């Protein structure tokens, strides 16, 4: 009599993943009605991780939501006139600039200084001001 032994290797566990319930256009903010939890796959598994985030690209219906597909909602749009701030010790400078791209909270954004026409890069604060130079 022969015995057949099968080596059972651990299989990766597939958790539930979030998919979109409809096609989401780029720059559209995800709501609770836009996502559903389905078994299997890899990606986000908690709706709170994606609700309120903005789609960076088109996300087609019933497709998993990948981390690269979403980001914080944009506070600054391309070509928007924004306040640019610089601070170093007691020195504080505010001027106007034109945003050269869209950006959300804490994201880097290129801005053209309207007075000098030079391009600087800064980070977006919650109030929409772009801070250049040393970050506090």
Domain that holds residue 46: 17-71
**What is the chain's percent helix, strand, coil content, to nearest 5?**
5, 40, 55
pLDDT digit of tens for each residue in the chain (136 aa)?
Answer: 566 555 555 555 567 888 999 999 999 999 999 999 888 777 788 889 999 999 999 999 999 999 999 988 999 999 999 999 998 889 999 999 999 999 999 999 999 999 999 999 999 999 999 999 876 5
The pLDDT, as a whole number, for residue 13 is 57
CATH number, domain of 37, equals: 3.90.1210.10
Q: Where among 25, 56, 71 does a domain terminate? A: 71
Q: Residue 83: give its domain's CATH number.
A: 2.30.30.760
Distance, in Å, from the CA atom of 10 to the CA atom of 15, rounded to the nearest integer, reads 15
Whether the model clears a pTM of 0.85, i.e. scores above it, the answer is no
Distances (CA, A) of 76 to 42, 71, 110, 120: 31, 13, 11, 15
* pLDDT value, residue 34: 93
* CA gyration radius, the chain: 22
Q: What is the DSSP letter of 34?
A: G
């Amino acid at each position: 009599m022969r015995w057949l032994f099968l080596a059972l290797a651990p299989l990766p566990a597939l958790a539930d993943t979030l998919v979109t319930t409809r096609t989401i256009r780029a720059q559209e903010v995800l709501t609770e009605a836009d996502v559903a939890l389905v078994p299997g796959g890899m990606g986000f598994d908690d709706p709170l991780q994606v609700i309120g985030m903005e789609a960076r690209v088109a996300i087609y219906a019933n497709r998993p939501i990948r981390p690269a597909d979403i980001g914080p909602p944009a506070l600054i749009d391309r070509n928007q006139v924004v306040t640019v701030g610089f601070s170093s010790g007691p020195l504080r400078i505010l001027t106007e600039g034109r945003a050269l791209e869209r950006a959300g909270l804490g994201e880097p954004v290129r801005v053209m200084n309207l007075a000098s026409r030079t391009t600087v890069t800064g980070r977006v604060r919650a109030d929409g001001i772009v801070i250049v130079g040393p970050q506090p």
